[in-house]
Homo-oligomer: A and B are copies of this chain.
Amino acid sequence: MTDTKDSILNSAERLFAERGYEATSLRAVTSEAGVNLAAVNYHFRSKDQLLKALFTRGMQRLNRERTALLDAYEAECGGKPVPPEKLVHALIGPMLDASRDRSRGREIFGMLLGRMYASPKGPLDDILVSDIEAFSERFKSAIRRALPGTSLEELYWRSFFAIGATAHTLISSRLIGIISNGLCDADDREAVLERLIRFIVAGLQAPERQGAKGKKAGPTGKKWRGK
């Protein structure tokens, strides 16, 4: 019944992720899905609504997996705070979905998600923000317990940076092989996830600034001053 509907969703997800939303025509989507062109406007109302539907589906799945992971880790730790490594894994693991299943469903949505972050402000912002907040509250309390010494404001920023590093990895990791002259392999997703987690955990645990708010001076004027 909803066979074509799902086909459209899957094809659209893949194509939007690979080529971008604007650059993908509905004809490309329906062609790949093997359905009629008009099916998109019949089952969804428009191309925009298709993207929204796509996004809500992926986000709910993503947050469900995140929450499940966090629940499991908290249960595992009893009453103790969950260590940062596991928190970070619950946050970004489902985005990369390293070697979970071969369908690569989550990974594709991760790419799409990363692209959406980098997209101009649009009607998607509402979904994006509301779905972020859905898991944000759950995550906030856990990370505050894990890193009690850091201010909430700083934790927000650092989680934001963490998402950024993850999104970038999902979207443009094809570049690192070229840049590194083949030294780095982006296809070993499990290893990449491990590196990323290590990087982010260290960033989360960085010492918070505590000095005054005085200006800093560098070699040519207004620059960063090392510790």
Contact = CB atoms under 8 A, between A and B. Distances in A.
Interface of A: 18-20, 22-23, 68-69, 72-73, 75-76, 83, 85-86, 88-89, 93, 99-100, 114-115, 117-121, 125, 128-129, 132-133, 136, 152-154, 156-158, 160-169, 171-176, 178-180, 183-184, 192-209, 218-220, 222-227
Given A22-B20, A168-B168, A220 B68 contact: yes
A180 B139 CA distance: 13
Copies of this chain = 2
A162 B195 CA distance: 12
Main SS of the interface on chain A?
A: helix
A181 to B, nearest CB: 9
B120 A18 contact: yes
Given A118-B167, A129-B179, A160-B176, 4 more contacts: A85-B225, A117-B168, A164-B164, A202-B205
